[in-house]
Copies of this chain bind each other. A is one copy, B any other.
Amino acid sequence: MVSNAVSQEFARKVAGQDVTVAEWSFMRALYDLEPVPPSVLAEKMGMTKGAISKLAERLLAKGLVVRTENKDDKRAHSLSLTNEGRDKIPVLAALADENDAEFFDTLTREEHETLNRILKILAERRGLDATPVD
């Protein structure tokens, strides 16, 4: 319930910037990894290649992302942020922080830290590292 509520509220916030959560997640990954092939993003985001292909297409159409050919391998290409895309990162990151604060700042500092610690334990034991998309 909590996770869904946090996510849904975040979706509402980023919608104001004409971006979906999946798109944010994609752009955020690009910010760290660009230039990066779709296959790696699929891995990082826990989505299928097909989904990434379509997501990339949408972001391309919005002018937030560009493809660059790989000259060693004609099948492959890499994805990067456009300047416009990169400029959106801090705006969206601020919304993410705001969203987290809205939910988790009602906790005491100790509760907050404990929650983080426990969730990290759980993620680690399961070997989780895919950025959630919904």
Binding site for B on A (CB under 8 A): 1-5, 46, 103-104, 106-107, 111, 114-115, 118-119, 121-123, 125-126, 128-132, 134
Copies in the complex: 2
Give the distance to chain B from A15, nearest Cβ to Cβ, in Å: 17
Q: B114 and A118: CB pair below 8 A?
A: yes
A3 in complex: contacting residue of B3, B111, B115, B130, CB < 8 Å: B3
In the bound complex, how far is the Cα of B107 from the Cα of A119, in angstroms? 10
Smallest Cβ-Cβ distance to A122: which chain B residue: B2
Q: B129 and A1: CB pair below 8 A?
A: yes
A130 in complex: contacting residue of B1, B123, B128, CB < 8 Å: B1
Smallest Cβ-Cβ distance to A8: which chain B residue: B46
Q: A2 and B134: CB pair below 8 A?
A: no
11 interchain pairs, CB-CB under 8 A: A1-B129, A1-B132, A2-B119, A2-B122, A2-B128, A3-B4, A4-B130, A103-B122, A104-B122, A106-B125, A115-B115
